[in-house]
Amino acid sequence: MSHSASASESWKPASNPWLVAMIVTLAVFMEILDTTIVNVALPHIAGSLSSSYSESTWVLTSYLVANGIVLPISAFLSRVFGRKQYFLICIVMFTVCSFLCGIATELWQIILFRILQGFFGGGLQPVQQSVLLDYFKAEDRGKAFGLASIAIIVAPIVGPTLGGWITDNYSWRWVFFINIPVGILTVLAIYPLLEDPPWERKWAKGKLRIDYIGICFITLGLGCLQVMLDRGEDDDWFSSDFIRLFAVLTAIGLVGAVYWLLYARKPVVDLHCLKDRNFAVSCLLMAGMAMILYGSSVVLPQLAQQDLGYTATWSGLVLSPGAVLVVLTIPLVLQLMPRVQTRWIIAFGFTCLCVSMFYSATLTPDVDFATLTLMRSAQSLGLGFLFVPLTTIAFVSIPQRLNADAAALFTMFRNVAGSIGISLSTAAITDRAQARSAGLVHNMTPLHEPFNLTLERWAQAIRDFTHALGDPLTLASGQLYKEMVAQARFLAYIDVFIGLGVVALLMIPFCLLLSPIKSQGSPGAH
């Protein structure tokens, strides 16, 4: 970096930072929306492209794999092309791939375009974060991250609702076409407004050394990890050779990447950011938050649709008040941040999450819409207290030149942990439902007196009130079995909520490792 510190100090963006922040956040909102909007449409996609549901889940997996690979190397790519140019390439290609996904006629086409979409979409979040870091002074960063966090927390929540509504009323193809006007709008706005700061200018030809080995290790580790997480459930985890192979490849890739990046002369990702205690602890806490956010965002719609028979739109509405609540809590958090030590705000956020998860574990099979919505709103309340303080304290003591690398790593931790949260939650529901039904079956024997009484009562009711064909006792035991399966499923959901509550509880002590600073123009900021 030949530019002196004074040059970088004196640099001021020509256009209004808030306008730039809104536009880059809009692009990120579109990209994150795309991760979850497709979830609801998968059965429709599978049906119309005549493939099985498990084949169609590759539409999700492929996106996440490509997204996960590009995140850590996005800082490097923005140096190669120049940040503005890289951001524009990402948006244009993301929009083009969205169009191609919408017109695909075969499953392999849509999977291929989703890989490209994930690859270009993955660059948007880290660039947005480093733009906000460079465009805003330390004292305004909290507000800027407040704006960004609304996108990052609200998009996964709005996604399923919007996706449900589009697929219920139009066609699944519109789930992709919806990106095109947003993409065109952001490109037209960014082109004149965004500029690169002096320390982020494009590298000269001679200076460019590509770290092929680092890129290969990252691709292998994170790519295989995403495939393993996404397919584990369908392939019965480690009892399948496919998953075992991918677990070994993940380990080789990740260990190799860490070792190589620490010792390489010009690594593709600078891991020195992790020496900064605030940054390293914030990454861990952010990963914990993402696990809980994404895990619970998948579990609740699944419960509403599969077990309570809600439509896609209604299951989305369960999540929506929570999203509104997050948006309303962020201004309150911004008011608190100059007055209260940031770490206490974060600890409070995790405490809220923990309490809300244990409250959600009071779930019963006859739960109504209002209670479900209340459970989700309670879960969302904690998120508002976490995102902005975590993002702000993470970058407090990071030197300016490492902003892009730190932003890339930070986003990667969040996304990978989100994928882990989704996989573990969905796997746990299947696994715990089996374990719970095995526990309940013990009571369903003629030797168990309450069972006999219930069976007799139900059989009597069938005799009295219906004219069903068949033996009333057989019909009643079939009904009881169905009831048992339904109860086992609910107990599994309760187990998952308790598990997520324990994750939140484990995070609280780590908050004390953060520096005791208040976030407004804090000392120690570069």
pLDDT (tens digit, 9 = 90+) per residue, 295-305?
887 788 778 87
Q: Assign 240 a pLDDT band (cuts: 50, 70, 90).
A: confident
Task: Please check the confidence at residue 474 and state whether its pLDDT lies above 90.
Answer: no
Task: Please check the confidence at residue 36 and state whether its pLDDT lies above 70.
Answer: yes
Task: Please check the confidence at residue 454 and state whether its pLDDT lies above 80.
Answer: no
Q: Report the distance separating Cα 325 and Cα 213, nearest Å.
A: 45
Give the residue from 177, 157, 155, 156 showing the smallest Cα distance to 166: 177
Label residue 204 exposed, middle or buried (CB < 10 Å: 0-12, 13-18, 19+): exposed
Q: Assign 523 a pLDDT band (cuts: 50, 70, 90).
A: very low
* pTM flag (> 0.85): no
pLDDT at position 208:
64
**What is the average pLDDT score of the chain?**
80
Chain segment 391-404, per-residue pLDDT in tens: 888 888 888 777 77
DSSP letters, 428-489, are: HHHHHHHHHHHHHHTT-STT-HHHHHHHHHHHHHHHHH---SS-HHHHHHHHHHHHHHHHHH
How many CB atoms neighbour CB 386 within 10 A? 32
Chain segment 179-191, per-residue pLDDT in tens: 888 888 888 887 8
pLDDT at position 357:
92
Chain segment 57-95, per-residue pLDDT in tens: 777 777 877 887 888 788 788 878 887 888 889 989 999
Instruction: Collect contacts of 487-490 with beta carbons under 8 A, ≥24 apart.
Output: 487/365, 487/436, 487/440, 488/433, 488/434, 488/436, 488/437, 488/439, 488/440, 489/307, 489/429, 489/433, 489/436, 490/307, 490/363, 490/364, 490/365
How far from chain centre, in Å, is Cα 49?
27
Q: Assign 203 a pLDDT band (cuts: 50, 70, 90).
A: low
351 compared with 312, residue with greater pLDDT: 351
Q: Report the distance separating Cα 480 and Cα 475, nearest Å.
A: 9
Q: What is the mean pLDDT of residues 463-478?
A: 72
Q: Assign 524 a pLDDT band (cuts: 50, 70, 90).
A: very low
pLDDT at position 526:
36
pLDDT at position 228:
82
Q: What is the mean pLDDT of residues 100-107?
A: 86
Q: Report the distance separating Cα 497 and Cα 409, nearest Å.
A: 28
Task: Please check the confidence at residue 276 and state whether its pLDDT lies above 70.
Answer: yes
Integer angstrom CA distances of residue 141 from 18, 326, 390 = 11, 18, 12
Q: What is the mean pLDDT of residues 214-224?
A: 84
Q: Assign 477 a pLDDT band (cuts: 50, 70, 90).
A: confident
263 compared with 523, residue with greater pLDDT: 263
Give the residue from 121, 74, 133 showing the smallest Cα distance to 97: 121
Q: Report the distance separating Cα 323 and Cα 304, nearest Å.
A: 17
Q: What is the mean pLDDT of residues 355-383?
A: 87
Q: Report the distance separating Cα 357 and Cα 354, nearest Å.
A: 5
Task: Please check the confidence at residue 507 and state whether its pLDDT lies above 90.
Answer: yes
Q: Assign 4 a pLDDT band (cuts: 50, 70, 90).
A: very low
Q: What is the mean pLDDT of residues 305-320?
A: 78
Task: Please check the confidence at residue 294 and state whether its pLDDT lies above 90.
Answer: no
Give the CB-side neighbour count of residue 256, counting CA atoms within 13 A: 17
Task: Please check the confidence at residue 468 and state whether its pLDDT lies above 80.
Answer: no
pLDDT at position 519:
65
Task: Please check the confidence at residue 194 and state whether its pLDDT lies above 80.
Answer: no
- Give CA angle at 431 (427, 437), nearest 5°: 145
Range with lowest mean pLDDT among 177-181, 312-316, 400-404, 444-448: 444-448
As a residue count, the chain comes to 526
Q: What is the mean pLDDT of residues 509-516?
A: 88
Q: What is the mean pLDDT of residues 128-137?
A: 78
pLDDT at position 207:
64
Question: Could you tell me if 334 and 388 are in contact, meaning their C-beta atoms sit under 8 angstroms apart?
Answer: yes
Cβ-proximal residues to 210 (8 Å cutoff; 6+ apart), any chain: 268
Task: Please check the confidence at residue 509 and state whether its pLDDT lies above 90.
Answer: yes
